[in-house]
């Protein structure tokens, strides 16, 4: 792992976190925001963005598309994780396999 990869990972995490936070702040119900809601939304968004970054690297996507898609992944959160799970299954990963 080199310094450029670390910066790319950090950028993906920040953009995804911003996407998740933007979604949380744009909700129309105007409920009281609790710290646990904010932290959990940012955590899920950051994780989703990082997993999206890995999937994009596997797919050969590069450049500004990575930033765009990581930010959107943060916005959509768990829905993107479902898509990435299907992506893994199509690539031959057996998520249901039990380890002995």
pTM: 0.78
What is the three-state SS of the chain?
A: CCHHHHHHHHHHHHHHHHHHHHHHHCCCCCCCCCHHHHHHHHHHHHHHHHHHHHHHHHHCCCCHHHHHHHHHHHHHCHHHHHHHHHHHHHCCCCCCCCCC
Q: What is the structure's pLDDT at 55?
A: 87
- Please write down the long-range contacts of 83-89, taking CB distance under 8 Å and 24 or more positions apart: 84/51, 84/52, 84/55, 87/55
Position 58 scores a pLDDT of 87
**Where do the domains of the chain lie?**
3-27+37-88
Mean pLDDT by 10 residues, the chain (100 residues): 83 93 81 82 93 89 90 91 84 69
Distance CA 58, CA 49 (A): 14
């Amino acid at each position: 792992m080199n310094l450029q990869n670390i910066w790319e990972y950090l950028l993906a995490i920040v953009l995804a976190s911003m996407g998740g936070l933007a979604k949380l702040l744009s909700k129309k119900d105007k409920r009281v925001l609790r710290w646990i809601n904010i932290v959990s939304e940012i955590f899920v968004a950051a994780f989703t963005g990082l997993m999206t970054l890995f999937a994009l690297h596997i797919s050969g996507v590069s450049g500004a598309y990575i930033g765009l898609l990581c930010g959107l992944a943060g916005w959509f959160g768990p829905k993107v994780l479902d898509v990435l799970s299907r992506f893994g299954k199509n690539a031959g990963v057996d998520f249901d396999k039990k380890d002995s």
